[in-house]
Amino acid sequence: MTLALAIHGGCGTLPKAEMTEAEWAQARSDLASALRAGWTILSKGGPAVDAVEAAVRVMEDSPLFNAGHGAAFNADGEHELDASIMDGATLAAGAVCAVKRIKNPVAAAKALMLRGDPLLLAGPAADIFAEHEGIDTVENDYFSTERRRKNLSSMKIRELVGTAAEASEAEKHGTVGAVACDAQGHLAAATSTGGYTNKPVGRVGDSPIIGAGTYARDGRCAVSGTGKGEYFIRYCVGHEIASLMAYKGLSLEQATQEAMAELTAHKVGAGLVAVDETGHIVAPYNTDGMYRGWVTPDGLMHVATHADVEMAGQA
């Protein structure tokens, strides 16, 4: 089997002028660190589900992505985080939503997956579950950054003057995710997010919804999405791609193109990373850019923010 790992740090990447070159370099470095964390597990024969968790944890810890530290603020100026993970070998999955104190929500999602039941826990119940499992918890302001605070102010002004609909994907959204194929040909996917800036309190998007923003099934594909979550839920994007492959006989590339075309036709900003059982990777998006990266079978890392893809050394 061909080992494969791909990640995204959200579509709707900021225009290049809005961050310094040092900040862009740091974003690419953090993507490379996430790839290295996942690839280390895969290259030693470890399972895909451990690799995607490891990659997502690194991005949750980076202040440059909308997940974990650096997550978006809701309308009340707090952070409510969502995450999920799925093992394509067994269809086991775990998810948390609207959590406020879990340092790495993907770790809590994985703990739920291993427990087996329930699959999804929300809000305070998920925070308490994480504490009981010995998973690190923090105060809510741990997730705050100055950039996200400015995003919140900007969105509140847009709301007042009636231009919220014109906000860029970069101002509103952001998600991180990973997909992998391991040495046994097993697939896995994981996704984590802070939702969108100025979202209503209690809003839950597609990232913790199995079959929408996250899906993995051996013999088909593993998918992690980013963009306007409500549409990923309506179109069941992850499951749709897997179904197009299974029932229509499409390749991964064809299936993802078909799913993305539907979103694009409805003017939905979106992107995703996906992998099939042969280790083939795709990373389509329809916005100005998407933080993304992947490792080729020779262990060479590739990372990108906008159109240009650059080599990032050996994983």
Task: State the Cα–Cα distance between residues 190 and 225, nearest whole angstrom.
Answer: 10
Q: Which residue matches tokens 């790495």? A: 104
Of the candidates 36, 109, 25, 37, the residue with the CA atom closest to the CA atom of residue 67: 109
Taking only Cα atoms into account, the Rg of the chain, rounded to an integer number of angstroms, comes to 18
154-to-17, 86, 164, 169, 282 alpha-carbon distances in Å = 17, 35, 9, 13, 33
Task: State the Cα–Cα distance between residues 76 and 197, nearest whole angstrom.
Answer: 10
Q: Environment class of residue 198 by beta-carbon count within 10 Å: exposed (0-12), middle (13-18) or buried (19+)?
A: buried
Give the pair of three-digit tokens for residue 18: 């809005």
Task: State the Cα–Cα distance between residues 59 and 31, nearest whole angstrom.
Answer: 7
Of the candidates 108, 117, 62, 58, the residue with the CA atom closest to the CA atom of residue 85: 108
Count CA within 13 A, CB hemisphere, residue 55.
37
Task: State the Cα–Cα distance between residues 273 and 31, nearest whole angstrom.
Answer: 14
- Asked if 254 and 274 touch (Cβ cutoff 8 Å), the reply is no
175 is catalytic: yes
Give the pair of three-digit tokens for residue 27: 């974003």
- Asked if 97 and 202 touch (Cβ cutoff 8 Å), the reply is no
Task: State the Cα–Cα distance between residues 137 and 175, nearest whole angstrom.
Answer: 20
Which one is catalytic: 90, 163, 175, 264?
175
User: What count of other Cβ atoms lies within 10 Å of the Cβ of residue 161?
Assistant: 7
Q: Point out the residues that are catalytic.
A: 175
